Amino acid sequence: PAARAPLSFLFEDKTHSSFSSTVKDKATSEPIRFTRRCISVAPSRETSGELLLGKSGMYFVEDNAADAHDNQSVHGETEAASFSWTYEEIKEVHKRWWQLRDNAVEIFLTNGRTLLLAFHTTKFRDDVYHNILTSDLPNLLEYGNITALTHLWGSGQISNFEYLTHLNKHSGRSFNDLMQYPVFPFILKDYISETLDLGDSSIYRNLNKPIAVQSKEKEDRYVDNYKYLEEEYRKGAHDDDPMPPVQPYHYGSHYSNSGTVLHFLVRMPPFTKMFLAYQDQSFDIPDRTFHSMNTTWRLSSFESMTDVKELIPEFFYLPEFLVNREGRIIDHAHRPL
């Protein structure tokens, strides 16, 4: 057989298994007390379907589940888009925003899986939320409010990582939505030294200020730019103007978005394929690809007026994402040992 091109698997589309049909058959075999149309949101895709609440559990049945092979997965392997879970498996339920609308709910299961479901309106979402919470949920957890979490963190009962994870969760961020992916801050600013003295305060970034204004010079530039835009807005703003001037702002970009997440995770499937889709099926030029912690820090903190990105949780628990394991088109990222 002919030799396969390097990384060719990244461009392949495999089909779902017949599990979607199985879920549909199972859902129709028990009494259903509530249904609602929704979209299942995941980093790699959005799947329209029907949410069903039955006697013993919940089901998401994708549209045309009986013909699921027509749907494709960016994971490059078979994966069902329909799924089911019992009420005993539900550990947490949180209201969420999706695409700037207060219309989603995220369900956390005891096996570690999370499900983000978006509905047509806030009322539809609230109806679903109410119906879930009024079900018998023996393993539902109550984490309390932010004040209680802060006390646990301050007293050393939970780690910095746990505390930041909870803050991201309570703020509505989700691993299922690249536009609302969890954010972790830069902690260090020294990515050159061979060894670090963690007791030396000079190696840490200033957590009292955003990443974009770690230097006084850059902070002054943002302030001056805001004042200039504010003055221009006052000069040109008219109630009857069909194209009013841009309102003043400090930053022209955000510290986290889908591009930021894929920029960091480009070496780790399935995010590699998502990155390719984001970049018109090609890798970015080497100098713009994430390749160095020191370069990323310099751009975000003081060299660039448009790059203000913070980090993602993987920097603190998953070193494998820094290593290229699929080929040599993108080399390893440079980072302090």
DSSP of 85-110, one letter per residue?
A: EEGGGEEEEEEEEETTEEEEEEEEET
| pLDDT the model gives residue 283 | 78
Domain end (from 107, 133, 159): 133
Residue (of 138, 103, 134) closest to 34 by Cα position: 134
Cα separation, 265 vs 275, in Å, equals: 8
Share of the chain above pLDDT 70, in %: 81
Average pLDDT on 212-240 reads 90
Give the 3-state secondary structure of residue 207.
coil
110 CB-contact burial (10 Å; exposed 0-12 / middle 13-18 / buried 19+): middle
CATH number for the domain that contains residue 258: 1.10.1540.10
Instruction: Determine the pLDDT at residue 27.
Output: 56
Q: Does residue 237 lie within any of the structural domains?
A: yes
Does one domain contain both 170 and 66?
Answer: no
When pLDDT is averaged across residues 276-296 and rounded to a whole number, the result is 82
pLDDT at 300: 95
b/e per residue 64-76 (b: at least 16 CB within 10 A): ebeebeebebbbb
Quick one: pLDDT band at residue 5, thresholds 50, 70, 90? low
Provide the pLDDT for residue 204: 98
Is 195 within a domain? Answer: no
Give yes or no: residues 13 and 129 share one domain.
yes
Q: What is the pLDDT of residue 244?
A: 74
CA–CA dist 225, 214 (Å, integer): 17
Pair 72, 117 in one domain: yes
Question: Residue 24 — pLDDT band, cuts 50, 70, 90?
Answer: low
Task: Say whether both 79 and 153 belong to one domain.
Answer: no
99 and 47 within one domain: yes
Q: From the centroid of its chain, how far is CA 91?
A: 20
Residues 173 and 129 occupy one common structural domain: no
Query: Per the structure block, which two tokens stand in for 120?
Result: 């047509």
pLDDT interval class at 18 (50, 70, 90): very low
Torsion of CA 269, 270, 276, 279, to 10 degrees: -110
pTM: 0.83
Residue at 182 is within a domain: no
Query: In the listed set 64, 98, 133, which residue is the last one of a domain according to the structure?
Result: 133
What is the radius of gyration, based on Cα positions, of the chain? 23
Residue 201 lies in a domain: no
C-alpha span between 292 and 322 (Å, rounded) = 10
Structure tokens, 247: 């309102």
Specify the number of domains making up the chain.
3
Instruction: Enter the tokens of residue 327.
Output: 């080929």
For the residues 274-300, what does the mean pLDDT come to? Answer: 85
The predicted structure's pLDDT at residue 82: 87
Mode of pairing for the β-strands spanning 72-73 and 57-62: unpaired
Strand partners, 116: 41, 106
In a domain, 200, yes or no: no
| Residue range(s) defining the domain that contains residue 161 | 146-177
Over residues 25-42, mean pLDDT: 85
Helix axes 146-154 and 160-170, enclosed angle (nearest 10): 170
Residue 69: the pLDDT is 41
Q: Is residue 223 pLDDT above 90, yes or no?
A: yes
One domain, residues 25 and 128: yes
CA–CA separation, 209 and 226 (whole Å): 17
* CA proximity to 139, closest of 108, 175, 178: 108
Q: 222 with 129, same domain?
A: no
Give Cα 47 to chain centroid, integer Å. Answer: 17
Task: Verify that 19 and 116 share a domain, yes or no.
Answer: yes
| Segment holding 49, helix H or strand E | strand 45-54
Question: Are 42 and 129 in the same domain?
Answer: yes
At residue 267, the 3 state secondary structure works out as coil
What's the pLDDT band for 288 if we cut at 50, 70, 90?
A: confident
Would 140 be classed as within a structural domain?
no
Identify whether 199 is part of a domain. no
Q: Are residues 236 and 280 in the same domain?
A: yes
> Are 87 and 163 in a shared domain?
no
Average pLDDT for 322-330: 64
Amino acid of residue 151: H
Q: What is the pLDDT of residues 65-93, one digit of tens each?
A: 554 444 443 334 445 578 999 999 999 99
Q: Residue 311 in contact with residue 181, Cβ under 8 Å?
A: no
- Residue 332 to residues 70, 192, 284, 329, Cα–Cα distance (Å): 36, 17, 15, 10
> For the chain, what is the mean pLDDT?
85
